Amino acid sequence: MSIATKSSGAVVLAPTYTPATGDLKALIAAKREGYLWRSDLTPDRVRAIRKQLADAERASLPPNPVVVASWLMKLTKLVTNAPAELSRDLAEVIFEVCGDIPSGAWNPESRLAWTRQPDRNGYPVGSRWPAPGELHTHLLPFADRIRDEVSSLKAMLAMVEAPPERRERQKPTDAEIAAVVRSARMARQALAEGVEELG
């Protein structure tokens, strides 16, 4: 599914964002938990990471007012008290409040999630037209998911692109080994003297 946007006389189709799934989703989870190693990132996985990062970065761009208006128009068909006609002023107010929500969050999933909200104190939130602040709060988790994914994917690519000396732990030098040996001997001697004093 695509969202049509109009740009300088041309209609551009912007693909809707799809979060990482399968292997990439597992890699992102492993990175967050600290269990991802450079050796886990095979060339095929690196290609998949680059492609998903490009899609996620595109989805994290600021929204186009036409995309927001289109999302709102489709929402009017799903709620009971929608405005009779979606005015430009109403769309601009919502765009002003929700302008920091990236374009990828304005998708069919977030629209359906609005309508499927459970009642709050007997009020059917999901079947009503949202206030701009409510809509911002609703869309924020979708936006955060995109931003988190971009951050994780960039960190994974940084592991691959890091210079070799930063990738793996360096072998200690002879001087460092000698310093550790000296410290161990001094600690052993201090312990032995402490035991004699106690005895």
Q: Please give the chain's pLDDT, 199 residues, in tens.
A: 445 444 455 544 455 678 888 889 999 998 888 888 888 889 999 999 999 999 999 999 998 888 899 999 999 999 888 888 888 888 899 999 999 999 999 999 999 999 998 888 887 778 889 999 999 999 999 999 999 999 999 999 998 887 766 555 567 888 888 888 888 888 888 888 775 555 5
- 0.75 exceeded by the pTM? no
pLDDT for 14: 52
pLDDT for 21: 86
Which residues are paired to 5 by β-bridges?
A: 12
Burial class of residue 56 in the structure, from the number of CB atoms within 10 Å of its CB (0-12 exposed, 13-18 middle, 19+ buried): buried
Nearest to 138, CA basis, from 67, 186, 71: 71
Tokens of 113: 């999630």
Which residues are paired to 2 by β-bridges?
A: 15
SS3 15: strand
pLDDT for 168: 55
